[in-house]
Each structure stands twice: as structure tokens, then as C-alpha cells.
Amino acid sequence: MTIPRSDGRLACGRDVQGILDQVAEGRAAERDAHQSGCLHCWAALAEYDRLWSPVRELAAERVEAPASVLEVALEKIRQVVEHADYGLLGSAEGLTRISVRVVVAIARRSAQEVPGVRVALSRYRPGPGAEGGTAAASPRAAAGVTGGTTTVEVTLAADYGTDLVDLGDRVRRAVAARVRELTGMEPASVSVVVDDVLGER
């Protein structure tokens, strides 16, 4: 499938056409070296795979997908690609675009409300060619959004003595539920990084 776009790239710089081909070929679950650490690619792969699923389901029935189904799927993907830096949710009244910064803020606040979390930060990952920095320098690096799908990573310091495996599970559930509730987007993954443990307050 071919999707035209002015620059043809995700926010991380990865070529959109390559990711679309990967999804169309049934390899959405595979990750190359860049994709294994890129939240933007995770979100794009999950969203494109979801949008392409009607075509895949018809193909599995050994029937030729009607041109109308193919065109509807492609049109939805075109819309998503044109707004690569935002979550995109449609309704009968129009479109709502949600910045990745909003997802990061919701995720951080949600994580901080989980008992056992001392502090939750946006983890900063410089993009291609970017200089290193702090969480405040690029909060958008802690999440990826594509269409109605998002991926999130939260770095936190925990209270000493907390069961960290259980804490990670509780943070994931809390963040996913809150992001889903407030944005309408579906968290494809929520990664939790425990960076430190702190003693009594």
C-alpha cells in the first residue's frame, strides 16, 4: 500500500512507507533495532495494524478484499499519517487532535497517584541528531501517538521496601486506564522504568 505525505516520516524520522509495508506484510509484531526502543514506531505499528485489520481478516477468508474496504482503510491511514505528531480521534462533528505532551502529563500524574511511587518523571530520549537533555527539555519523548493509539514510558522512584514488580503492574494499569478515560486513545503499551528507591520521607 502507498500513502502519500509531504515528508513521509514519523516524528522520530522513520520512513512511514516502510512501516506500512511491514504491517501489510503481517510483520507488525517484529521490531528492528530502532523500533525496539522507539515509542513513535510502537504507536504507529499498533495503529496501522489496527486500521489494516479489516483487510487482513478478509484476506484470511481467501476472498479478494473489495476496493471499498481497501480504500476506507487507506483513507483512515492517510488521515493518521498527516497528523503524525498528534493523536487523532474522529466523530461526526469533526476531529480532535491530542498532543503527545498531553499524554505524557496524564501518564505522569496518574503514576504519581499510585501508592509506593515517590516521584514519576517523563523519561527523555533524544531523537535523531538531538542533543541530550532533561525530562523537561522534551516531554514528548516519553510517549508516542498515532491516530487513536499511544505508547507510554514512565520513569519513577519508588518508596524503599515496595514490591517493585507489583508496583509496575499497578502503575501500568493506572496509567492505561487514565489515558484511555481522558483522551479516548488506546495505550498499546505502558513501560515502567524504576530508576531509584528512596527511604522515609
Q: According to the model, what pLDDT value does residue 201 have?
A: 62
Rounded CA separation 89/198 (Å):
40
CATH code of the domain containing 161? 3.30.70.1350
Domain of 158?
97-198
Confidence of residue 131 (pLDDT cuts 50, 70, 90): very low
> Same structural domain for residues 78 and 146?
no
Using alpha carbons, select from 145, 33, 159, 157 the residue that is nearest to residue 96: 145
C-alpha cell read off for 199: 527511604
Using alpha carbons, select from 19, 7, 8 the residue that is nearest to residue 149: 19
Q: Is 91 within the bounds of a domain?
A: no
Q: Is 89 within the bounds of a domain?
A: no
Whole-number average pLDDT of the chain: 78
Using alpha carbons, select from 78, 101, 100 the residue that is nearest to residue 87: 100
- Phi, psi angle pair for 14, to nearest 5°: -75, 140
> Same structural domain for residues 112 and 140?
yes
Cα three-residue angle 162-165-169, rounded to 5 degrees: 105
Q: Is 6 within the bounds of a domain?
A: no
Average pLDDT on 16-33 reads: 88
C-alpha cell read off for 167: 508496583
Q: Is 165 within the bounds of a domain?
A: yes
Domain count, the chain: 2
Confidence of residue 124 (pLDDT cuts 50, 70, 90): very low
Q: According to the model, what pLDDT value does residue 68 have?
A: 72
pLDDT digits (tens, 9 = 90+) for 151-178: 899 999 999 999 999 999 999 999 999 9
Q: According to the model, what pLDDT value does residue 6 have?
A: 45
Rounded CA separation 6/9 (Å):
9
Q: According to the model, what pLDDT value does residue 116 have?
A: 94
